[in-house]
Structure 1
Amino acid sequence: MTLARQMMRLVVRGVVRPTLSPSVPVELQRAVLDIAGRVAKMPQGTQVDRISLHGCPAERVKTPGADAQRAVLYLHGGGYTVGSPRTHRALAAHLSAAARMPVYLADYRLAPEHPYPAALEDALSAYKALLQRGIAPGRIAVAGDSAGAGLALALCITLRDEGIPAPAGIALISPWVDLTLTGVRDDNRDPMLRTAWLRSCAARYGGVTERLTDPALSPMYAGLSGLPPVLVHAGSDEILGPDIDRFVELVRNAGGAIRQRIFAGLWHVAHLHAGLVAECTDATHEVGLFLGPATTRGRSDIYHL
């Protein structure tokens, strides 16, 4: 374990994990995470513009050489209750640099003020806005982390079911795809999250427990055939590891094209530390190397990197 990774692990366990607690007011959780986001390092020359995607506020993050005719729609994590473009700006910038395309960070509405289906409605509006800007669906990729990854998957399932042209690929980082949390690891293994916080987020976003198996909330329970190629990243200490493994198996059984990467010694959405920890930077770069070719080559070529 590198010193930088060891130090970051201690910071995450000592600062982020106590903040992400059901006993901490959501407003305070959001404020602390926004401050933490300022520590992250963006590649030199990164440009950030505030825009609107069909009524959904967003940031367009691009690095030098980004191809404006391609796009990544990125849906940030945070249990549907916290997180913002501010917390994920650096991650988006590193993705832009690796994929050589702009990343659109959707600032979708959060629970508990805006429970389901607000986030999914905003994600759908943002995707349609990219199409309306003249970007072909084959030149768009969708990505997200944690709850944002679950939202990205729910979006692509909605697109499929409504007959809307699908993106060229989906990248899911530490995806939270089952709000019932049927498969989680021991809380102490992952320095980032505890099950109690995830359960509180699920209740704030989805409501009563009986509703959480709705595929629009927990896309693990949806039909998973007919999706674009999927890349899944997770750390070996990922709290959602068993659920993620089950999701990957379900996609494969449905005949989908999916690749899973597990990074030794990393934790839930360690990609947030790109620019600060070499292993996290490398993992984020790998996501970019999936997104870039996905939007420039035929889908059958995506995995030949």
Structure 2
Amino acid sequence: MSELTWADRFWRALATGVDRPVLALVAAQPVLRVLFGLSARLGSKVPRDVAMTWDSDGALWLRPEGVAAGAPIIMYIHGGGFTIGSPRTHAALAAHLARAAGMVAVLPRYCLAPEYPCPAARADVIAAHARLVAAGTAPAALAGDSAGGNLALLLAQHLRDTGGVMPRALALIAPVADLSGDIAARFAAAPSELLIPPQWARRIQRAYLAGCDPVDPVISPLLGDLSGLPPCLIQAGGEEVLAHDATALAARMDDAQLELWPGLPHVWHIHAGLAPAADRALAGLGAFLREKTAR
């Protein structure tokens, strides 16, 4: 968490001056998906030594050079407010994480709202995990950012409750842990939020919930049982609105470390390969996963 470089400050300024107004003003999710797809690919860099392949289920596999095909697997669940994003938008982030951990990463697809509201995304990641287990490639770690962090937590809780194959570690980036809170109050408590506008948060809540009860633990993992989960490292921006969720999770989990990075926007890790702060954060997450999943 050292001093921000000029590159880090550039990406922070872009988040505040461009990304935040776009999220506030553009209501059409299909348009946001296209814009995010372009900005994520232009604003990040997949390492050249990472092989990228797609499987028949639409999942993206990332294997860094020197990492054996049979190495432990990270199942990385991408974020995007349950409405945008894809394995490709988060390829650079997951590739840098996999390289730092010395592991193979797999990014499954899941259905997006509003076309497929909750609980479709949860069902998709549970099914994706089951396919990996059936293929003999059970993930050693689960990871995810924002909405993907929510889904990673819900998956871990599901595996614990059903006797499934549990991961040995969790890595979460600013997870959405509670969808039941008052949005206005949350943003009032985070006046220095750099990226997420309250308008987008409200649209996400309407699109994703679509009649689901936000206090249901299969929607808001913070409101469920957080005991018996694997060791977890949580990172979030120090001033972002989701720092509250990150802090609350770390306080309630059996074995969780919390890192709040001051002066950085929500999921700054998306600029992996181009922003030193993103690379440092992912290196830390990777070192944690390497340690916790070592055989």
TM-score band (shorter)? over 0.9
* Aligned residues: CA RMSD: 1.7
1:181 deviation in Å? 3.4
Give the whole-Å Cα distance in 2 for the aligned partners of 1:68 and 1:165: 20
- Cα 1:67–1:168 change in 2 (3 A) is farther
* Aligned residue in 1 for 2:162: 162
The corresponding residue for 2:120 is 118
Equivalent AA in structure 2 for residue 274 of structure 1: A
Counterpart selection for 1:227 from 226, 229, 235: 229
What is the deviation of 1:133?
Answer: 2.1
The Cα of 1:21 is off from its aligned counterpart by: 3.0
Structure 1 partner of 2:134: 132
2:205 to 202, 205, 213: 202
TM-score scaled by structure 1? 0.89
Moved more, 147-156 or 11-20: 11-20
The one-character-per-residue Cα deviations of 1:147-170 (angstroms, maximum 9, x if unpaired) are: 100010001111111111211111
Q: Are 1:27 and 2:25 matched, yes or no?
A: no
The 1-side partners of 2:237 and 2:67 are apart by: 28
Number of residues paired by the alignment? 287
Tell me if the contact between 1:22 and 1:200 (Cα under 8 Å) persists in the aligned partners. no
Which residue of the partner structure matches residue 59 of structure 1? Answer: 60
CA gap of 1:170–1:87, structure 2 versus 1, over 3 A, is same
- CA distance, structure 2, for counterparts of residue 190 and residue 66 of structure 1: 38
1:128-159 Cα shifts (integer Å, max 9, x gaps): 1221221355xx10000001000100011111
Distance 1:166 1:67 in 2: 22
Q: Which of 260, 263, 267 is residue 262 of structure 1 equivalent to?
A: 260
Amino acid at match of 1:64: E
One-letter amino acid matched to 2:239: D
**In 2, Cα distance between equivalents of 1:42 and 1:117:** 31
Q: Give the counterpart letter for 1:290 in structure 2.
A: F
Alignment partner of 2:53: what SS?
strand
Per the TM alignment, residue 235 of structure 1 is displaced from its structure 2 partner at its CA by: 1.3
Q: How far apart are 1:67 and its partner, in Å?
A: 3.3
**What code does the residue aligned with 2:171 have?**
A
Q: 1:33-182 to 2 correspondence within 5 Å?
A: 33-39=36-42, 40-52=44-56, 55=57, 57-69=58-70, 70-136=72-138, 140-182=140-182
SS of residue matched to 1:21: helix
Pairing 1:189–2:186 present: no
Q: Name whichever of 198-207 and 162-171 sits farther off.
A: 198-207
Q: Tell which deviates more after alignment, 10-19 or 149-158.
A: 10-19
- Give the gaps of 5 or more residues in structure 2: none
Relative contact order, higher structure (CA 8 A, sep 6+): 2
- What is the aligned-residue identity percentage? 38
In the TM superposition, residue 87 of structure 1 has moved relative to its aligned partner by 1.1
CA distance in 2, matches of 1:194, 1:180: 17
Q: Which residue of structure 2 aligns with residue 303 of structure 1?
A: none
Inter-partner Cα distance in structure 1 for 2:217 and 2:24: 26
- Show the counterpart of 1:244: 246
CA distance in 1 between counterparts of 2:255 and 2:246 reads 15
Q: Deviation at 1:188?
A: 4.8
Query: In 2 relative to 1, CA 127–148 (structure 1 residues): closer, same or farther, beyond 3 Å?
Result: same
Contact 2:238 2:264 in 1 (8 A): yes
